[in-house]
Chain A
Amino acid sequence: MSRLRYLVRKTVWLAVTLYFVITFNFVLFHLLPGNPVRLLARSGHLTPQAVADITRVYGLNHPPPVQYLIYLRDLLHGQLGISYTYREPVSRLLGQYLGNTILLLAAATVLTIVLGVLTGVIAANRRGGGYDSATVTASVIGWSLPTFWTGLILAFLLGVWLHAFPIFGMETPNAVYTSQFQRIEDIGAHLFLPTLTLVIVNIAQFVLVARASVIEVLAEDFMLTATAKGLLPRRILWRHAVRNAMLPVVTASALLISLVVGGAIEVETVFSWPGMGLLVYNSVLNRDYPVIEAAFLVFAIVVLLVNFASDLLYQALDPRVREA
């Protein structure tokens, strides 16, 4: 029963937040900045006829509340406007680029979580040792690294200098593949440096969260019981301590997504990875407002959904939340 209530509460909060994001988007990009007709035309020289046409096409002749309703209706139909530079519906553009970004995000997130937790657990287990303090120091430095600059340095060292990995795009241009496997290999090679950059920059907090959480669990009474029962230390650590230390990691994972989404914009720019981030970068340079606006909306929705999923996961893992 309470489980259902929790679910309902979280769903309502998700719906309210989504609605706020959409409205926020509308107010920000449709009501605030000056005259949209000027923005559209760039140059100020327009015939009155052209101004009237643009005003009608974009529905600017309606009062703001009506514009808002039109905006909501268009959004529900997946109409996000037309890109100024690509001359294509924004929704189609997003469809082309979103998949590549999700590939990058998934690779980076999974690797960050797995490697971060492993390092954190080992650091906690050897608390106070050289390995432990090295982890903390590395985490602090990792936190201070700008994502895009880390990407530039890796591109220079491993790409330009050592020629070990490609640093441009997703596939080798004009490549002829003899098999599908070869193509996957090529994409994997291109994926390596962007993913590595995101992992290096974001892994720090994971290590710290996992470490702190495991240290806390290791101090609990039931750990002493487990030792007294004569269980192997390795089993105690991985089966008893780590399992109980995973809750903060779930929370940190939700926060990670928000960071990785931002990081993807930087990394895709540096490595010209054909995803949403590169699309945003090009749109920023060309002041392609409909694309920038839609990209923000998509990023925000992705982050909201991941947060929602992590809330549900948290509840499934922690009986105390279920009761609350």
Chain B
Amino acid sequence: MVRPGTTTGLGAVGAEPRGDARAPGTWRGTEFRRVWRALTADPMGRTGLVLFVLVVTMAVAGPLLFPFNAAAISNSAAGVLQPPSARHWLGTDELGRDLFAEFLSAAHVSLVVGLAATAISMVLGASIGTAAGFYGRWADTVLMRITDFFLVLPQLPLVIALAAFFGQNLWIIILVIGMTGWATTARIVRSQTLSLRERQFVTRVRSLGAPNLRILRVHILPNVMPLIFANTVLVIGGAILAEATLSFLGLGDPVQVSWGTMLHFAFESGAIGRGAWWFFIPPGVGIVVVVLAFTLTGHAIDQALNPRLRSSR
């Protein structure tokens, strides 16, 4: 049962061979230290961490320092699509509004959508994954068929159709992205649960008569948590991209301007043909930096916490 070199992905391997009946430690100090090491030792993780801090600071402090006034429209053509100047650091948009303030407030919206949609995906993916892996049999078959179904459906056309039907509201967009992005998580969580279910410490508490729900709560869930956490960070990037795409296609919330919405208006107002680079370059760079931040940190965390990846390193 004990293979040298493999880890449980959760806590030290050393605890297993002695047949310790307790669950291996989960979010103990070692986990945090391992994540921190992975983030700081690897150049990619370091870059991701720096970008992450930068983006979060910008999205949180930016709108407070430079509040965006969506109603401050220029009343003359001279104020529209102006290149960067001392007064407007990033120029003005097609209505003559300050693009710097708009950029910062859009950062906030993009991040909020990404985080909230990911939260929904994670709850769905984690519950479906653990339920399928833990209960097995027909529950597993049914849940995994549904998961496969969502895995093969092309996400973007589905999200477009849903958003077009249910309306242009930030909460609906969050819901739609969240409800279509959980399938990969469910698969990952299921396979981890499957392997945990057969571990000694679980079979022992089961033979001691522990009820299913307690085994799930006390022994399984804490042990899949690190994996879910690593996956979460990776999924956020995808959710932010999905929101940007939806908004670019004109399905964004018209009141809550995100980077994707900005690019939609840049495109529709012909900023590309007019060479108004200050309008369409910053929001795109913003998206790339945010997604990069989450992908790089997520990757480093995944390397540290995902048992499969770790043993192959």
Asked if chains A and B come from one complex, the reply is: yes
A270-B165 in contact given A141-B288, A261-B154, A296-B157 (Cβ < 8 Å): no
A18-59 Cβ-contact flags toward B at 8 Å (1 or 0)? 001100000011001100000000000000000000000000
Asked whether B166 lies within 8 Å of A149 as measured between CB atoms, the reply is no
| B52 at the binding interface (Cβ < 8 Å) | no
The 9 closest A-B pairs by CB, nearest first: A262-B156, A149-B284, A144-B291, A299-B157, A296-B161, A144-B292, A258-B154, A296-B157, A261-B154
Asked whether A33 lies within 8 Å of B263 as measured between CB atoms, the reply is no
| A269 at the binding interface (Cβ < 8 Å) | yes
Residues of chain A at the chain B interface (Cβ within 8 Å): 17, 20-21, 28-29, 32-33, 137, 140-141, 143-149, 152-153, 155-156, 160-161, 167, 258, 261-263, 265-266, 269-270, 280-281, 283-285, 287, 289, 292-293, 295-296, 299-300, 303-304, 307
A293-B275 in contact given A17-B149, A299-B154 (Cβ < 8 Å): no
| B218 at the binding interface (Cβ < 8 Å) | no
In the complex, chain A residues whose CB is within 8 Å of the CB of B248: 146, 148-149, 266, 269
Asked whether A292 lies within 8 Å of B160 as measured between CB atoms, the reply is yes
Instruction: With both chains docked as a complex, state the minimum distance between the C-beta of B237 and any C-beta of chain A, in angstroms.
Output: 7
Asked whether A146 lies within 8 Å of B152 as measured between CB atoms, the reply is no
28 sampled A-B residue pairs with Cβ under 8 A: A17-B149, A28-B161, A140-B295, A140-B296, A140-B299, A144-B237, A144-B291, A146-B241, A146-B260, A146-B284, A148-B248, A149-B263, A149-B283, A149-B287, A161-B275, A258-B154, A261-B157, A265-B156, A265-B157, A270-B267, A281-B250, A284-B250, A287-B164, A292-B164, A296-B157, A303-B153, A303-B154, A304-B152
| B162 at the binding interface (Cβ < 8 Å) | yes
Q: Give Cα A164–Cα B244 distance, bound, in whole angstroms.
A: 28
Instruction: With both chains docked as a complex, state the minimum distance between the C-beta of A319 and any C-beta of chain B, in angstroms.
Output: 24
Instruction: With both chains docked as a complex, state the minimum distance between the C-beta of A95 and any C-beta of chain B, in angstroms.
Output: 18
In the complex, chain A residues whose CB is within 8 Å of the CB of B250: 281, 284-285
In the complex, chain A residues whose CB is within 8 Å of the CB of B154: 258, 261-262, 299-300, 303
Asked whether B272 lies within 8 Å of A146 as measured between CB atoms, the reply is no
Asked whether A266 lies within 8 Å of B249 as measured between CB atoms, the reply is yes
Residue of A nearest to B264 (CB): A148
A146-B287 in contact given A156-B280, A284-B250, A296-B160 (Cβ < 8 Å): yes
Asked whether B157 lies within 8 Å of A289 as measured between CB atoms, the reply is no
Residue of B nearest to A261 (CB): B154
Residue of A nearest to B288 (CB): A144
A293-B161 in contact given A265-B156, A266-B248 (Cβ < 8 Å): yes
Q: Give Cα A270–Cα B284 distance, bound, in whole angstroms.
A: 14
Q: Give Cα A258–Cα B183 distance, bound, in whole angstroms.
A: 14
Residue of A nearest to B294 (CB): A144
B127-168 Cβ-contact flags toward A at 8 Å (1 or 0)? 000000000000000000000110011111110111011100
A28-B162 in contact given A146-B245, A147-B245 (Cβ < 8 Å): yes
In the complex, chain B residues whose CB is within 8 Å of the CB of A293: 161
List residues of B (208-253) whose CB comes within 8 Å of A's CBs. 237, 241, 244-245, 248-251
Q: Give Cα A140–Cα B275 distance, bound, in whole angstroms.
A: 28
Asked whether A140 lies within 8 Å of B292 as measured between CB atoms, the reply is yes
**Total chain B interface residues with beta-carbon distance under 8 A:** 43
Asked whether B165 lies within 8 Å of A156 as measured between CB atoms, the reply is no
A265-B280 in contact given A155-B272, A284-B160, A292-B160 (Cβ < 8 Å): no
Residue of B nearest to A161 (CB): B275
Asked whether B245 lies within 8 Å of A20 as measured between CB atoms, the reply is no
In the complex, chain A residues whose CB is within 8 Å of the CB of B292: 140-141, 144
Instruction: With both chains docked as a complex, state the minimum distance between the C-beta of A27 and any C-beta of chain B, in angstroms.
Output: 12
| B5 at the binding interface (Cβ < 8 Å) | no
Q: Give Cα A143–Cα B250 distance, bound, in whole angstroms.
A: 23
In the complex, chain B residues whose CB is within 8 Å of the CB of A266: 156, 245, 248-249
Residue of B nearest to A216 (CB): B312
In the complex, chain B residues whose CB is within 8 Å of the CB of A147: 245
Asked whether A262 lies within 8 Å of B284 as measured between CB atoms, the reply is no
Residue of B nearest to A156 (CB): B272
Asked whether A280 lies within 8 Å of B263 as measured between CB atoms, the reply is no
A148-B295 in contact given A270-B267, A292-B164 (Cβ < 8 Å): no
| B201 at the binding interface (Cβ < 8 Å) | no
Q: Give Cα A152–Cα B162 distance, bound, in whole angstroms.
A: 25
Instruction: With both chains docked as a complex, state the minimum distance between the C-beta of A278 and any C-beta of chain B, in angstroms.
Output: 11
In the complex, chain A residues whose CB is within 8 Å of the CB of B237: 144
Instruction: With both chains docked as a complex, state the minimum distance between the C-beta of A33 and any C-beta of chain B, in angstroms.
Output: 5
Q: Give Cα A257–Cα B188 distance, bound, in whole angstroms.
A: 22
Asked whether B152 lies within 8 Å of A156 as measured between CB atoms, the reply is no
Q: Give Cα A20–Cα B288 distance, bound, in whole angstroms.
A: 35
| B13 at the binding interface (Cβ < 8 Å) | no
Residue of B nearest to A262 (CB): B156
In the complex, chain B residues whose CB is within 8 Å of the CB of A269: 248-249
In the complex, chain B residues whose CB is within 8 Å of the CB of A28: 161-162, 165
| B36 at the binding interface (Cβ < 8 Å) | no
Kindly identify which residue among B153, B155, B277, B291 contacts A21, using a CB–CB cutoff of 8 Å.
B153
Instruction: With both chains docked as a complex, state the minimum distance between the C-beta of B114 and any C-beta of chain A, in angstroms.
Output: 13
Residue of B153, B241, B281, B299 contacting most chain A CB atoms (<10 Å): B153
Asked whether B288 lies within 8 Å of A300 as measured between CB atoms, the reply is no
In the complex, chain B residues whose CB is within 8 Å of the CB of A283: 164
A280-B280 in contact given A28-B165, A143-B295 (Cβ < 8 Å): no
